[in-house]
Chain A
Amino acid sequence: MSLFTLLRLAFRVIARNKARAMLTVLGIVIGVAAVIAMVALGTGAQQNIAKQIASLGSNLIILIPGTTNVAGVRGGGGSSTTVDVDDIEALRREVKSISLIAPANRQQVQIVAGDANWGTTVQGTTPAFYTVRDWGVENGAPHSDLDEASMNKVCVLGKTVATELFGTDDPVDKWVRIKKVPFRVIGVLVAKGQSPMGTDQDDTVLIPFSVYRQRMAGTQRDQIQAAYAAAIDANSAQAAVDDMTAVLRQRHHLRESAEDDFSIRNLADIAAASREVSESMTLLLGSIAGVSLLVGGIGIMNTMLVSVTERTREIGIRMAVGAKARDILVQFLVEAVVLSAIGGAIGVAFGWWVARLLSDTTGWVTVFDPGIAALAFAVSGAVGVFFGFWPARRAARLDPIDALRYE
């Protein structure tokens, strides 16, 4: 029999018992819809995280000094003073797998502009920072090497700080005071949004590193709290970490057995780790949804078994006029697949609608992935084959004489 004939027959049989068909495919509908909605949510979350990590800068490597250990009391990361400006200089000179490195020391300050003031973080850093962190200036200009060299008291405001101090006014060429030192505003950073840790990256002020050392650092002029480096490309990020580690260990005269007194993290690793988390989250949600697909399949099997029993006589008639076992098998299999594919199609539409509803009402990002929709639909078809096979084989194995006599 041609596929067209088989499909027409299957649709006709299903149409005869619409209520039963609808109830049967409900399990598949819910299963597929759940898979679609869950994966849409998971993928949305994944993209969100990826976007946040990308906002930190590309090929980014973060160096912070090790922890202090005073009589067994360990301070947090960056609490020690094991990395100094000479280390940064050495890294810049010696490590070929990084293109740029920018120290970044910071402290909490109160910044004043006219009669407005705002508590924020001031960061002393070099012009390399803008490139390493992939952070542009939308208004004005970043500070330059000349500013570093001449210790010009200029600053670049984060978007949040600019808004808090100047509202809608243009802050460029206005003056602010940080720790009583007047700084001229030369630029405003492009808004970056939240960091993956949830802090507002735009709530900051950048000043030249040389100025920071002289005017802000107090006695700890040579210490480095953090440095950002850029690997020459994404593939050499790990090599860069290894090279930097080697240089620093040598400079710090660490023995083979000694632990690093600093920590270097590669953003690609951080990104990979968080991607892994969100991927396994998506997988988990998807497989929970997949279980309902399984339950839906059992529903189809149940209905097909009932159908085979009800239609024993029909099977007998078909066999008597020449249907082979295979013809009967295929007929019932196609029926099961059509049932589950109907469920799959409704499920895809329903799941898409649920995902839309979720993102509209909760503001979560959802991403409808056509590939996943196609996969879920294909899986629902496969569920039909898998759960329809046994009932169909039962039908095909009937003895014609018994089937004809069945009342």
Chain B
Amino acid sequence: MSDTPVIDTVGLSKVYATGDTPVVALADVTLQVHRGEFVAVVGASGSGKSTFMNLIGLLDRPSHGVLRLDGVDVARLTSNQRAMVRNHKVGFVFQGFNLLRRTSAMENVELPLLYAGVGARARAQAAATALTQVGLGERMGHMPNQLSGGQQQRVAIARALVNQPALLLADEPTGNLDSTTTREILKLFVDLNVNHGITVVMVTHEQDVAAVSRRVVQFKDGHVVMDGPPPETWTPAVEVPWRAAKVQGAA
């Protein structure tokens, strides 16, 4: 069971039927992501990388192809079943944080547990643990507008992790952050991946962010054009164990 891929796609496609000519956003993508991987998805805008993320995050439905999440075929589930998979197997981190306004950090983190039917006491406990894990143990009662951008993104990460999902999906998680905060968030992702074994798939268009990952998948015009470890020439934004020597060399 341990070698069951977290993400397994065969000929995954998404075609939008807008206007006269259908637009192919994703064409025939066959890809596997295994447990414990840290994948950066890169590509120009319109390359299909966001569509790919929305498909594997079950926010959107594929037009063709097979999509298995953690061994479960999710391409043809009802919307209720999709909601349950989103709830149990996937944690989302967005560029714009997407926290509920005027709702405390604690309650934002509790949200997935609320829909999982977890009782109030267990919810509070799990949310506190998740917030402590992302370094926000002191600010659980704060509202999003009382937190900095980096702190808001940490709340979002805690929310993504609270249900102990198989997969952490991050869509441009550092897009709205300055370079210092970007490094903090990336360190957090590396820590989660290395020390907690969490599988991370992260969309980015920044080379130094992508270089932090263990594997880069590049999209172009709906196809995967490159799949492998980040090129030696890319300098990671933060120190990573699997490229420690390189960073030291660069410094």
Residues of A within 8 A of B (CB): 1-2, 5, 16, 313-314, 316-327, 400-401, 404
Contact = CB atoms under 8 A, between A and B. Distances in A.
19 contacts: A1-B114, A313-B98, A314-B100, A316-B98, A317-B98, A317-B99, A317-B100, A320-B86, A320-B98, A321-B111, A321-B112, A321-B115, A321-B159, A322-B84, A322-B112, A323-B83, A324-B84, A325-B80, A400-B86
A323 B111 CA distance: 9
A314 B103 CA distance: 11
A322 B54 contact: no
A316 B83 CA distance: 12
Interface residues of B, number: 27
Contacts of A324: 79-80, 83-84, 115
B227 interface: no
A320 B54 contact: no
B47 to A, nearest CB: 18
Contacts of B244: none
B92 interface: yes
Contacts of A401: 54, 59-60
A5 B114 contact: yes
Nearest to B160: A321
Which of A313, A314, A318, A322 has its CB near the most chain B CB atoms (within 10 A)?
A322
B84 to A, nearest CB: 7
B102 interface: yes
B102 A322 contact: no
Nearest to A397: B79
Given A320-B86, A401-B59, A401-B60, A16 B115 contact: no
A321 B79 contact: no
A33 B99 CA distance: 41
B87 interface: yes
B88 interface: yes
Contacts of B117: 1
B32 to A, nearest CB: 24
Contacts of B80: 324-326
B100 to A, nearest CB: 6
B102 A318 contact: no
Interface string B62-104: 0000000000000000011001101110001010001111100
Contact of B88 (A1, A322, A325): A322
Given A322-B86, A324-B115, A401-B54, 11 more contacts: A1-B114, A2-B120, A5-B120, A313-B98, A319-B83, A320-B57, A322-B163, A324-B83, A326-B80, A400-B86, A401-B59
A327 B98 CA distance: 19
B122 interface: no
Contacts of A320: 57, 59, 86, 92, 98
Which of B59, B60, B94 has its CB near the most chain A CB atoms (within 10 A)?
B59
A320 B99 CA distance: 11
A21 to B, nearest CB: 15
Which of A1, A5, A326, A401 has its CB near the most chain B CB atoms (within 10 A)?
A401
A318 B98 contact: no
A401 B51 CA distance: 10
A322 B100 contact: no
A317 B155 CA distance: 14
Contact of A327 (B86, B115, B163): B115
Contacts of B245: none
B116 interface: yes
B59 A322 contact: no
B100 A323 contact: no
Nearest to A319: B83
B111 A318 contact: yes
Nearest to B123: A5
B145 to A, nearest CB: 14
B92 A400 contact: no
A22 B80 CA distance: 35
A321 B92 contact: yes
Contact of A322 (B94, B99, B101, B116): B116
B60 A323 contact: no
Interface in B112-141: 112, 114-117, 120
Contacts of B111: 317-318, 321
A318 B88 CA distance: 14
Contacts of A321: 86-87, 92, 111-112, 115, 159
A403 B79 CA distance: 15
A324 B114 CA distance: 11
A16 B102 CA distance: 9
A323 B80 CA distance: 9
B79 A323 contact: no
Contacts of B54: 401
B165 to A, nearest CB: 10
A321 B158 CA distance: 12
B156 to A, nearest CB: 10
Contacts of A323: 83, 115
Interface string B230-249: 00000000000000000000
A327 B114 CA distance: 10
Closest 9 pairs between A and B when the two form their complex, measured CB to CB: A322-B87, A322-B115, A321-B112, A324-B83, A401-B59, A400-B59, A401-B60, A323-B115, A317-B98
A82 to B, nearest CB: 83
Contact of B98 (A1, A5, A325, A404): A404
Contacts of B94: 404
